[in-house]
Structure 1
Amino acid sequence: MKYRSLGRSGLSVSELAYGNWLTHGSQIDEEAAISCVRAALDVGITTFDTADIYAATRAESVLGRALAGERREGLEILTKVYFPTGPGRNDRGLGRKHILESIDNSLRRLRTPYVDVYQAHRFDHFTPLEETMSAFADVVHSGRAHYIGVSEWTAEQIRAGHALARELHVPFVSNQPEYSALWRVIESEVAPACRELGVGQIVWSPLAQGVLAGKYLPGSPVPADSRAADRKSGGATTIKGFLRDEVLERVGRLRPLADEAGLSTAQLALAWVLRNPDVAAAIIGASRPEQITENAAAAGVTLEPELVARMDAILAPVAECDPALTEKSSPKART
C-alpha cells in the first residue's frame, strides 16, 4: 500500500480507502463485513469512509465494531452528514442543529472520540452557508473532528465554503466526488479549483459501481449476486446508467490492455484513477475479503502513458464529462 497527503494538509491517507456504502448493515452480514475490514487492514488500508445515512445508520455501527481494538492513531476515519437520519424536520440537511447532533451520534456509533474528516454529504440549498461552516468550525474546535470536507459540491460551492473555513480557522481539506474512467465530470472545473485551494480528492465509485471490473456483459442478464441485482439497498438503481450495451461493449475492450499491463480489468481501472495527482485516495468496497486483496494490487502501479491514451480512446464515446452533473447531485427540494 502507498500513502498520500490529503491536499495540502498534514494528513496522510492510504491511496486505497475502504468504504461501506451499500454493504455493511445491508448487502452483507456482520461477520462478512468484519472479515472485509480485517482484509483491508491486512493489505495496509488505514483510511475508512462511511456516512450516517448508509444502511440507515447501521453502517457506522458495523464499522465501529469492526475497528474496535485497533490503534486509533493508526487509522483515518471519515464520515458524512446531510441526508435524513430520522423522521423529524431537522433530521436532515446542514443546519446547525442537525450537524451538532449528528456528529455526536456518529461518534457513538463509530466508538471513537473523534473522526479525522467530517464531510458535508451534499450541498444544502436551504441553509445559509455561513451557518453550516460555523457549525463545522465548532465541531473541529471542540475536537470532535480534525478536518472537514465535502462531497459532490461544485467548484463555485467549494470556493465559497473554503473561503468561510479559512475565516473560521478550520482546515477544509477534501472533496469526495464520483470519479472513474467512465465518470470524469470533475476534471474541467472541480479538480482545478480544488488543486488551487489545496483540497484533495477522495473519490468514490472508481470502478463505476463494478462495471469497470468487467463482470457485466452486453446482452446478458446481470449476475444474481451482483450489485445490479440488488434492489433492496439501492444497488440496482445506482448502477443502472452504466449498464447500457454500448458501455459494456467498450469496457470489454479493456481486457487486452489489462492483460498487457499484467493486471485484472478492475486493477487497471483503479490504477487509471490513482495515476491522477489530484486523487489522494480511491474508495473501494467489497462483499468478500478476496475482492479487497485483488484490488489492493493496484496500489503503486504505474501505467504507461501510451496505454492510458489507448484506454481513454476506447472509453471516450461513453465517458461522461459534463461538469453540470455535479450540480444535479445536490437536491433542490427539501426531502
Structure 2
Amino acid sequence: MTFGHFPGARKPVARILYGTARKEIMLGGRSAFRLLDEVADVGATSIETARAYPGSERTIGRWMRERGNRESVVIVTKGAHGRGRKGRVTPADIRSDVATSLKQLGTDRVEVYLLHRDDPNQPVGPIVEVLNELHVEGRIGAFGGSNWTHERIQSANQYALEHGLVPFAASSPNFGLAEQVEAAWDGVLTISGPSNVDAREWYACNDMPIVAWSSMGRGFFSGRIKSDHPNEAKKLLDGAARRGFAHPTNFERLERVEKVADEKGYSVAQIALAWVLNQPLDVYPVVSASSGRRMQQNIDALGIRLTPNELSYLDLARAAAL
C-alpha cells in the first residue's frame, strides 16, 4: 500500500480506501469483523464510511474497540446527508451528525470528515465556520465535501481565505473510467466523462485530494460483467449501477479494458482501477472488496503503469492503443 497526505488529517491516508457500504458490514457481527480483519491484514486500514450507511459506523467502532487498533486505522466518514429532497447542510445538522458519528465509532476524532451532500441554497460561510469550530475542538481533522461542485468548493475556500479559516482539504465526487451517464442517486455529482474536463482541471490545478466513490462503476468493472453480454450484465448490477453505468458507452470502455487486461496479464478490475490511479490527480479510489484476497488484488493495481496512449484508448479518446 502507498499513502498520501490530507492537510489536517494527522495520519497518512492509504491511496486505496476500503468502502463499508456493504450489507455484511452494515449488519455487523462476526462475519463483518472477519472481513475487516482480512482487509486490514493486507494493508487496507483507511476506511470509508458514512452516517447514511446504516450500522456501518457502529460495526467499525465495535471492531476497533475489540481489536484495540484505533491508532492504526484512518477513518473517513460523511454526514449531513439530506432526507428525500430536504437538505441538511446546516451548522446544527453538521454538529449533530459529527456527534453521532463519533459516538457510533467510539472515538473522539475522525481523520477526515466530508459533507455527504450539498445544499446550494445554504451560504458557504456558516458551513465553513462550523467545520472550523469542529476542527479546532479536535473532533475532525481534514474536512471537505462529497458531491459538491468544484465551484461551490472554490466559494467555500475563498470564504475561508478571506476570514482566516481553514479551507476544504478534500472532495468526494464520483470518479472512474465508467462515465456516470445518469445520476445513480439523487444529489450526487460526477467528474467522470468528457463533459467534466473543466472539473478535473480544477482539481489538478488545486492539487486537492479526491476520495473517488464508485471508482469501479459500482461493480461494472468487477470482472463479473462481460462486454458482449449487456443484457445479462444488467441483471447482475443493482439499480444504482444500472442507472449510472450500464450504458453503451461504458460497455465499449469495458470491451477495451478486457483487451488491455488480456494483453498485460491483469484482471479487468485491476486495469480499470489502474486507469484511475494513473490519472494526473491526487485520487484515492474507494473500493469495497468481498475478501482480503480481492482487496490485495486491488492494492496490486498500484503497481500497474499505463501509458498516455493506453489511458486515452481505454477512455474512448483514441481509436487504438499504440
| TM-score normalised to structure 2 length | 0.83
CA gap of 1:111–1:24, structure 2 versus 1, over 3 A, is farther
Matches within 5 A, 1:156-235: 156-166=151-161, 167-183=163-179, 184-185=192-193, 187-217=196-226, 218-222=229-233, 226=236, 228=237, 235=238
| 1:290, distance to aligned residue in structure 2 (A) | 3.1
Equivalent residue, structure 1, for 2:64:
67
Q: Which residue of 2 aligns with 1:274?
A: 277
**Which position in structure 2 is the counterpart of 1:256?**
259
CA deviation profile, 1:78-127 (whole Å, cap 9, x unmatched): 11112147x9x8xx611111111111100011111100111111211232
**Secondary structure at the residue paired with 1:254?**
helix
1:52 equivalent in structure 2: 51
- Give me the whole-angstrom Cα distance separating, in 1, the residues matched to 2:136 and 2:268: 44
Q: CA deviation at 1:188?
A: 1.9
Q: Sequence identity, in percent?
A: 26
CA distance 1:193–1:9, change in 2 (3 Å): farther
Count residues in correspondence. Answer: 301
Of structures 1 and 2, the one scoring higher in RCO (CA 8 A, sep 6+) is 1
Which of these residues, 287, 290, 294, is aligned with residue 291 of structure 1?
Answer: 294
Match of 2:144 in 1: 149
In structure 2, the gaps of 5 or more residues are 180-191
CA distance in 2, matches of 1:315, 1:82: 40
Tell me if 1:113 matches 2:108. yes
Structure 1 ranges of 4+ moved more than 6 A: 7-10
Question: How far has the Cα of 1:156 moved from its partner?
Answer: 1.1
Partners of 1:175 and 1:24 lie apart in 2 by 27
- DSSP 3-state at the match of 1:116: strand
The alpha-carbon deviation at position 254 of structure 1 amounts to: 2.1
The 1:6/1:278 distance shift into structure 2, 3 A limit, reads farther
Report the equivalent of 2:75.
77
Q: Show structure 1 runs of 5+ residues with no match.
A: 229-234, 317-335
Residue in structure 2 matched with residue 38 of structure 1 by the alignment: 37
Pairing 1:119-130 to 2, within 5 Å after superposition: 119-130=114-125
| Structure-to-structure mapping, 1:93-112, within 5 angstroms | 93-112=88-107
TM-score (norm 1): 0.80
Q: Contact 1:49–1:77 at 8 Å: present in 2 too?
A: yes
CA distances 1:249-280 after superposition (whole Å, capped 9, x unpaired) = 54134222112222100000111100123133
Q: Distance in 1 between matches of 2:45 and 2:74?
A: 6
CA contact (8 A) 2:175 2:214 kept: yes
Output the CA distance in 1 between the equivalents of 2:76 and 2:260: 34
